[in-house]
Amino acid sequence: CHCSFVLLQPNVYPGNCWAFKGHQGQVVIRLPARVYLTAITVQHITKDASPSGTINSAPKDIAVFGVDADREEETLLGMFSYNVEKDPMQTFTLKVCSTHEDQMPGSK
pLDDT tens digit sequence for 30-45:
777 888 888 988 888 8
101 is a domain residue: no
Which amino acid appears at position 16 of this protein? N
Which residue from 81, 30, 35 is spatially nearest to 58, judged by alpha carbons?
81
70 is a domain residue: yes
13 is a domain residue: no
pLDDT at 1 over 50: no
73 is a domain residue: yes
Domain range holding 37? 24-93
44 is a domain residue: yes
Helix (H, G, I), strand (E, B) or coil at 66: strand
Which amino acid appears at position 30 of this protein? R
pLDDT at 49 over 60: yes
What is the number of domains present in the chain? Answer: 1
> Are 64 and 78 spatial neighbours (Cβ–Cβ below 8 Å)?
yes
What are residue 68's DSSP bridge partners?
73
pLDDT at 108 over 70: no
9 is a domain residue: no
37 is a domain residue: yes
47 is a domain residue: yes
Q: How are beta strands 39-43 and 73-81 bridged, if at all?
A: unpaired
Rg (CA), the chain: 16
